[in-house]
Amino acid sequence: MRRRNAGLRWVALAGVALTLSGCIGVLNPKGPVGHAEKLILVNSVAIMLTIVIPTILVTLGVAWWFRASNTRAKYQPEFVYSGQVELIVWAIPILVIVLLGGIAWIGSHDLDPPKPLVADVKPLEVQVVSLDWKWLFIYPEQNIATINQLVIPAATPVHFELTSSSVMNAFFVPQLGGMIYTMNGMRTNLNLLANEPGEFHGLSSNYSGNGFSGMNFTVRAIPAADFASWTQTAQQSTEVLDDAAYIALSHPTQNVPPTIYKLGSPELFRSILTQKLPPGPGPATGPMHAAPAGAEAPKVEMPATPGMPDAEAPHSMMPASLSSKQEG
């Protein structure tokens, strides 16, 4: 029990560290979405400080002025009401709320994740699947896929379609901006752009089990010519991501190294989304320690319910018919 509690503490500390690393990235944006989100953050903090700083100063000033040794301070026990004080006390917070609400309203519409980014070049299409505990990136137009590595051309918009193989997760590249959830049987959309070449840290920002702390990936933004060369090289990969390979990947594994695949079918993402391919078993069905990368995940027998016949574990909490409607 003590070892288990110690392990949970380390997981919590790792989660805090990942969160703080995300904050550092947010303050050093490398894309238009990230810059806009940083501006919203800075403006919001500045507006809130107009209340926080004066309140602290007034509190200290009142305490100092009405100290016992100050004979000039007037003692007014009969004081009950002042219209001027009432106006100030209510007007300033109301103005702050209006300003913060305006910033949130405008920003949420300008930075709506599905909203395409304005650019002179065609967006790159990337399909993202959160697995236990790794990220799958599918390039349908290039007929390739990668694990835990996202390569994109710099100065080119990227349109992401995202879903989850099992439990709910969250895709986050702090320096490019925009965190968005991934859910089994559902699709979300996100548009990002890297202004310049570089490597950026990507992570999962939603706890999803034992291997959550290792759900990191690298985003490499490279010049368009280099991206074309990388694509041609990736298409020569001997690893093929077909249905059987995907089902094997969907089992819980930790610390999976970056891998490049040739795409077996351009409809792989849709098959995952509509659950034509069975969802991953999920972290709850695996052992406390997931199988290492490349190892076969152990089979887990589901206990039978008393008084009920044995049945296979359901693939998803959401019926396939409902998920298909949601996807459309």
Architecture of domain 124-285: Sandwich (2.60)
- The pLDDT value recorded for residue 1 is 53
Res. 320 pLDDT band, cuts 50 70 90: very low
The structure's pTM equals 0.74
What sign does the dihedral 247-144-199-186 (CA atoms) show?
A: negative
Res. 284 pLDDT band, cuts 50 70 90: low
User: Does 93 have pLDDT greater than 50?
Assistant: yes
- Whether the Cβ atoms of residue 132 and residue 164 lie closer than 8 Å to each other: no
Burial code (b: 16+ CB inside 10 Å, e: under 16) for 278-296 equals: ebbbbbebbeeebeeeeee
Nearest-angstrom CA–CA distance, 217 and 250: 17
Q: What are the residues facing 180 on neighbouring strands?
A: 171
Read off the amino acid at residue 132: D
Q: If residue 163 lies in a helix (H) or strand (E), which one and from where to where?
A: strand 158-164
Nearest-angstrom CA–CA distance, 137 and 126: 7
Res. 302 pLDDT band, cuts 50 70 90: very low
The domain limits of the chain are 32-66+79-110, 124-285
| 230-283 tens-digit pLDDT | 999 999 999 999 999 999 999 999 999 999 999 998 999 999 999 999 988 877
Per-residue pLDDT averaged across 132-138, rounded?
95
The larger pLDDT score, comparing residue 112 to residue 298, is at 112
Pairing of strands 198-204, 253-254: unpaired
Per-residue pLDDT averaged across 100-128, rounded?
92
| 26-59 tens-digit pLDDT | 889 999 999 999 999 999 999 999 889 989 999 9
